[in-house]
Amino acid sequence: MGYLGLLIGYLIILLTPIVGMWNKRFKDLGLNPTHAFIPFLNYFQLLKACKLPKYWVIFLIFPGVQFYMWASLNVTYIRKFGEFGIKETIMGILFPYPVFINIAKKPEQYKVAEATNWDVAKQVDARTPSDHVALFFALPIVGHVLAVPFSMLGFKRKPGKKSIIKEWGDAFVFALIAAAVIRTYVFEPYKIPTGSMEKTLLVGDQLFVDKITYGPRVPMTPFSFPIFHNMIPYLNINSYSTVQTIPYTRVPGFRGVDRNDVVVFNFPAGDTAIMDPRMPYGLIGHNYYEILRNVSFHNCCIREGHDIAFFEDNYNYYLNKTRKEFEDGKVYSYRVDQEDYDRGYVACGGLVTRPVDKKENYIKRCVAIPGDEIKIINQVLFVNGEEAYKPEHMQKNPVPTPFGAYQPEKSLADFNEYVKDPYVRMRTPISYYPIFPNDSQYNWTEDNFGPLRIPKKGDVVALTKLNIPIYRRIITAFEGHTLEEKEDGFYIDGKKTEKYTVQMNYYWMMGDNRNGSADSRFWGFVPEDHIVGHAAFTWLSVDQQKGMFGGGMRWKRMFNKIK
C-alpha cells in the first residue's frame, strides 16, 4: 500500500469538515463559513470558538496521533451543538459524518449549546454517559478503574468544576496525544532489562533515548495505543493495528549512527514470536528463529533419536514441521514444570508476526557501520584491520553454557551421555549453530569470528552457496523480496540472478559485556529502518534486588551521559 494509506488518512482528516458541511453552521458559531473549506484553518477556528487551546491543531499533522486529535475535535464539534448521546459520541469518534450532516440540515434541532453548567444536575446527568464513553476510548478499562472509585466515594467538586469522569477523560486524551508525540519524535524512556551492557549500563538503569540526533522515525503502524509498545500485558493482545501502515520514513536528523554510539533498535530477529499465554507480554523468548532451530534439533535428535547427520540432511523438513507445531500451539521442549512434562509439550498461543517498529527494543553499542569489515580474534575485536575502541567499563563476564547444550564440535553421544535423565534432557535448552550466520558452513564462535563486511546501501554482492546464509534475511525479511534457492542458481522475485544490490545500510551491534551479550554475533545485522534512537543519559538507576525504597537508589548514576 506504500504511502497511499498515509495519504488516505490525511485526506479523511482534511475532507471531514467539508463532507460534514461545517460551513452550514460556522456562522452560528460566529465564524466565517468559507473558513470551513480551508484545511487546518477549519479545525483551528473550531478550537477558537470552543475556547480550547488553538495549538492543538498541530497534532493533526503527526502520524501516530492525528486520528486521536481528529476524533477529539469531532466530538467537540458535536457537543458544541448540544449532542451528548452515547451513539452519537461513538460515531463522532469512529465515523462522524451522519451526525455532522444532521447538525447541518437540522439547525432547529441542533442549537449552539452554552458551556455545561456543572452545578446543574440535569445538564451533568445528560452528558455523563457520553463522558464515560469518551473516557473508555481514551484509556480502556484502566481509565474507569482509576476514575470511578473517586466518583463513588462522593468526592465533591468545587462549584462550576467538571465531573471527575470528564476531567480524567480530557486529561487522558491530551496526555496520550502529547506523550505519543514526545515518545515518537523527541525522546523515549527505556529501562535496561539485562546485563549485556555491563558495566557501562546496569540492570535497573533507566535512560532517555534521543530521537532527534538520528532523526525521528515516522511510525510504521500509526494506529497504536501509545502507552504500550506492542502488547497489552496480561490480555496478550496487540496494542496496534496494521489497518494503516507507512513505509520506512525518517525525518532528517543532525547526523547518522556513528561507530561506537550506544543505540536502541528494534530486534532484527523479532518479526515472528511464539506466544505464551502465561507470560505478561506473551512471549516464549525473543529470538524465534533460534528457538525454531533448537526445537527442530530437539525434535529430530532427542525426541525421535536420530543422529546429527540425519538432522542436517533433513534440516528444512524439521524446520517446517516444527514451525507447524508452533502454529498449532505446541512446543516439544523448553518444558518448565511437571504439567508440561505430563502433557508432552508446552501449550503456546501460536505464532504472532510483528512489523518493524513493534519488534522488541534492544540496546547495544554500534561497533561497526556500513562498509566496515570486522573480525574477532581471541575475544579481541578488530574493525577495518585495527583493534576496535574499548569502552571504559567493558568486561568479559562469561555466561555459563546452557546445561547440556549441543556444540557443533561435540557428538550427540557425548550430549546424551552427559544428560542421562530423560526428564532432564527433555527440558534442556539446546543451542544449535548459535553464531551468525547460523549455518554449518561456518565454524565461527563469539570469540573468533569473521572476517565479515557490514553491508552498505548500493553494495553489489555476488551470490554463492557460501555467502547466501549471510544475505538471506537481508534479501527477504529486511528488503522484502522473494528468494528461491534452486539447483541452477538463485531466483529473486522470480528472476534468475547471480548478484544482489543492497538497498539499505546495516550496522553491527555488540554488548559491552562481551561474553554476556546476545548480540549481532548471534543474530546478525541491524538494518537502518530498525534504528530507534541514540541512548543519551540515565535519569534514574535502581538496584533491582534492593528496590527504590530498600536502599537500591544509585544516586551517582543519575543524569550521567552515556559514553
pLDDT in tens, 334-375: 666 778 778 888 888 899 899 999 999 999 999 999 999 999
Q: Which residue has the higher pLDDT, 407 or 182?
A: 182
> Rounded to whole angstroms, how far apart are CA atoms 145 and 409?
57
Report angle CA 330, 336, 339 to the nearest 5 degrees: 70
> Rounded to whole angstroms, how far apart are CA atoms 118 and 556?
49
400 pLDDT band, cuts 50/70/90, is very low
Beta bridge partners of 364: 263
Which of 52, 88, 92, 48 has the alpha carbon at shortest distance from 70? Answer: 92
What is the DSSP annotation of 90-114? Answer: HHHHH--HHHHHHHHH-TTTSPPPP
Task: Please give the grid coordinates belonging to residue 37.
Answer: 473549506
Q: Which residue has the cell 512489523?
A: 355
Task: Please give the grid coordinates belonging to residue 276.
Answer: 505464551
Residue 474 contacts residue 503 (beta carbons within 8 Å): no
Task: Please give the grid coordinates belonging to residue 53.
Answer: 487551546
> Rounded to whole angstroms, how far apart are CA atoms 560 and 539?
7
Q: Is the pLDDT confidence value at 406 over 60?
A: no
Average pLDDT over residues 453-471: 97
266 pLDDT band, cuts 50/70/90, is very high
**Mean pLDDT over the full length of the chain:** 84
The predicted-structure confidence for 185-196, as pLDDT tens digits, reads as follows 999 988 888 888
The predicted-structure confidence for 475-494, as pLDDT tens digits, reads as follows 999 999 999 999 999 999 99
Please give the pLDDT value at position 149.
62
> Rounded to whole angstroms, how far apart are CA atoms 128 and 131?
5
Task: Give the pTM.
Answer: 0.85
Please give the pLDDT value at position 232.
78
Average pLDDT over residues 281-309: 85
Average pLDDT over residues 530-553: 84
> Rounded to whole angstroms, how far apart are CA atoms 171 and 143?
10
* Helix intervals (H) in 305-462: 308-313, 315-327, 338-343, 412-418, 422-426
Q: Is the pLDDT confidence value at 242 over 90?
A: no
Please give the pLDDT value at position 450.
94
Task: Please give the grid coordinates belonging to residue 66.
Answer: 492525528
Average pLDDT over residues 313-325: 95
* Helix intervals (H) in 328-450: 338-343, 412-418, 422-426
Q: Which residue has the higher pLDDT, 282 or 410?
A: 282
Q: Is the pLDDT confidence value at 427 over 50?
A: no
**Secondary structure letter of residue 230 according to DSSP:** S
401 pLDDT band, cuts 50/70/90, is very low
Omega cis (within 30) before 96: no
Return the minimum-mean-pLDDT range out of 235-239, 393-397, 400-404, 446-450: 400-404
What is the DSSP annotation of 385-412? Answer: TEEPP--TT-B--PPPPPTT---TTS-H
Percent of the chain with pLDDT over 90: 48
